[in-house]
Amino acid sequence: MSLYQWFERTVARVPEAVALEVGGESVTYRRLRDLADGLAGRIHAEVGRRPRAVGLLAARSLPAYAGYLAALRAGAVVVPLNPAFPPARTARLCRDAGVDALVVDDAGAATAAQVAGGAVTVRLDGAPGVPPPTAPVAPDDVAYLLFTSGSTGRPKGVPIRHRNVDAFLTYCRDRYPVGPGDRLSQTFDLTFDPSVFDLFVAWGGGATLVVPQPDEVLTPVRFVNERRITHWFSVPSVVSLARRMRMLSPGAMPSLRHSLFAGEALTLEQARAWAAAAPGSGVENLYGPTELTVTCTGHRLPADPAAWPATSNGTVPIGDAHPGLDAILRGEDGTVGGDDGELCVHGPQRFDGYLDPADDEDRFVTYAGHRYYRTGDRVRREHGTLVHHGRLDDQVKLRGYRIELGEIEMVLRGHPGVQDAVVLAFGAGDDVALRAVYTGAAGITAELTRRCADRLPGYMVPARIHHVAALPTNANGKTDRRRTADLVGSATRGERR
């Protein structure tokens, strides 16, 4: 099925069930379909043809969700955009994606003129258009396009096709059966691919998608209870936040039946705290890069915490590959078959390649006649299942977002006063902080912070920027990142004294 058909078939089955709760408003499946139809008609009329790609410069609002469906209804590629990101960056994403139309809400309208380029701008509160003819959508057509951080200094476009997401949702339908009366959280931004699970697992089964506002995400226990959430999905750092606020008391969330986590390492300690607070809920750790369509492995913890595996690094296993996918571990020497190595995955959820084919270099490996995506993640088989043991490169995760440190370094090096720059991640789990070190002109750290803020999403802006006379090097003349980290650590300790 196409992604829109997952929604459309539910409308035919339960038109008066509530599909969406957002901004204090409840929207039935029938009304959401009608809004999407009218918006698709306006997009088609404004563009003058079937649009290639529709950007969503909207977040946590009715226009964002109606716009997502309208883009699919019009037969276009959905390109989620965050209104809070720097306009210059968003404008580049629109150009790269070939966006013909922008759907905006109030937040997006503020920067639409800086972002749109040649694209038309459409708002939900305009007069509805005549629904366009049903656009033929083939399995190989791209359903949505997301951008991830790129080590070359520019974001990488990841096109996910209808056949990729159909395979994923078919698996989810069987593993997480939902129906009218079930209420799924929507904690992820639309630019973050776990949101696809939230939207279309809910809408594929007739459940209600419940959208928290940003401040509600900061109080997850209250949100779960006041909004009667039955299925929770978030990054694990939300667990730590709730613990710091002393909200995870035993039995605090009796309504929960499923609790899913992804985007970061889930520690066994976090899982125990959440499980005690939601005794009627299963707890599951999911893993998957955007290139493998939301998640590609999962591990559901036993109901009895005494039966949980004791992993070597204290994290919940990422589990086994979803049915239909094949996962192999590739050693440093390229051999396959050991219990430790880079995770590589092949199957129907694997994307075909980046928007820019130049980004495909070294990201795929052929084994037994199949093309596997190289995740760059090191995993180890423990207790008969897979455990994540970090990255093989400089990529880090912060609140679930992938960050290529090289992209931040390129922004810093673009300043005329900077000779060289290194960005480092300190801490682990949900306590990661970015620090930048540069050589060149002293006294420009404030300028560099502003430069990063103007060009990068907020989560990629270094918390501190340090100037040094020279970066330490190793015997090969390359920057020694470990010794650089020691320098930064010493400087930070000196500042505290």
**CA of 245: how far to CAs of 36, 206, 278, 429, in Å?**
39, 34, 16, 18
CA–CA separation, 202 and 392 (whole Å): 35
The model's pLDDT over 149-200, given as tens digits with 9 standing for 90+, comes to: 766 668 999 999 999 999 999 999 999 999 999 999 999 999 999 999 999 9
What's the pLDDT band for 477 if we cut at 50, 70, 90? low
From 9-18, 391-400, 457-466, the region with the lowest mean pLDDT: 391-400
**How confident is the model at residue 256, as a pLDDT?**
96
Can you give the pLDDT at residue 153?
Answer: 67
Q: Please state which CATH class domain 3-307 belongs to.
A: alpha beta
Domains of the chain by residue range:
3-307, 395-496
How far does Cα 202 stand from its chain's mean position? 18
Q: Is the pLDDT of residue 494 over 60?
A: no
Looking up tokens 């002109």 gives 441
- Residue 393 in this model has a pLDDT that exceeds 80: no
pLDDT at 366: 96
Give dist(CA 349, CA 411) in Å, integer: 33
- 3-state DSSP call for residue 347? coil
For residues 312-330, average pLDDT: 96
pLDDT, one tens digit per residue, over 416-456 is 999 888 888 887 666 778 999 999 999 999 999 999 999 99
DSSP code string of 221-262: HHHHHHTT-SEEEE-THHHHHHHHTT---TTS-TT-SEEEE-
* pLDDT score recorded for residue 320: 96
Is residue 103 classed as helix, strand or coil in its secondary structure?
Answer: strand
pLDDT at 404: 81
**Quick check: 229 pLDDT over 50?**
yes
Which helix (H) or strand (E) is 184 found in, with range?
strand 183-185
**Residues contacting residue 433 through CB under 8 Å, at least 6 positions apart:** 425, 426, 427, 463, 464
Distance of CA 238 to the CA centre of its chain: 15
Structure confidence at residue 407 (pLDDT): 85
pLDDT greater at residue 23 or residue 135? 23
Sort residue 304 into left (φ over 0), alpha (ψ -120 to 50) or beta: beta
With b meaning 16 or more CB within 10 Å and e meaning fewer, what string describes 98-135? Answer: bbbbbbbbebbbebbeebbeebbbbbbeeeebebbeeb
Q: Is the pLDDT of residue 348 over 50?
A: yes
More confident residue, 209 or 131: 209
Per DSSP, the residues of 386-440 read EEEEEESSSEEEETTEEEEHHHHHHHHHTSTTEEEEEEEEES-GGG-EEEEEEEE
- Where residue 476 falls among pLDDT bands split at 50, 70, 90? low
Residue 497: band (very low, low, confident or very high) from pLDDT cuts 50, 70, 90: very low
143 CB contacts (<8 Å, ≥6 apart)?
2, 3, 72, 77, 78, 160, 161, 162, 164, 165
pLDDT for 400:
72
Fold (CATH) for 395-496: GMP Synthetase; Chain A, domain 3 (3.30.300)
User: What was the pLDDT predicted at 493?
Assistant: 45
Q: Per-residue pLDDT averaged across 221-242, rounded? A: 93
Of residues 29 and 214, which shows the higher confidence score?
29
* pLDDT one-digit tens code per residue, 71-95: 999 999 999 999 999 999 999 999 9
Which pLDDT value is given to residue 488?
A: 76
String of DSSP letters for 296-324: SEEEEPPSSGGGS---TTSB----EEPTT
Residue with tokens 């904690």: 187
What are the helix (H) ranges across 76-193? Answer: 87-97, 106-109, 112-115, 162-175
Residues 276-293: pLDDT tens digits? 999 999 999 999 999 999
Across the chain, mean pLDDT equals: 92
The residue with greater pLDDT, 405 or 445, is 445
Q: How many CB atoms lie within 10 A of CB 39?
A: 28
* pLDDT, position 288: 97
Phi, psi of 63 (to 5 degrees): -60, -35
For a pLDDT cut of 90, what percent of the chain falls above it?
A: 74
User: Alpha-carbon distance 3 to 164, whole Å?
Assistant: 10
| Strand, helix or coil for residue 154 | coil
Q: Is the pLDDT of residue 478 over 70?
A: no
Q: What is the average per-residue pLDDT within 230-236?
A: 94
CA 479 – CA 339 distance, rounded (Å) = 31
Q: How confident is the model at residue 495 (pLDDT cuts 50, 70, 90)?
A: very low
Strand partners, 380: 340, 387
Contact between residue 352 and residue 366 where contact means Cβ atoms under 8 Å apart:
no
Is the pLDDT at 463 greater than 80, yes or no?
A: yes
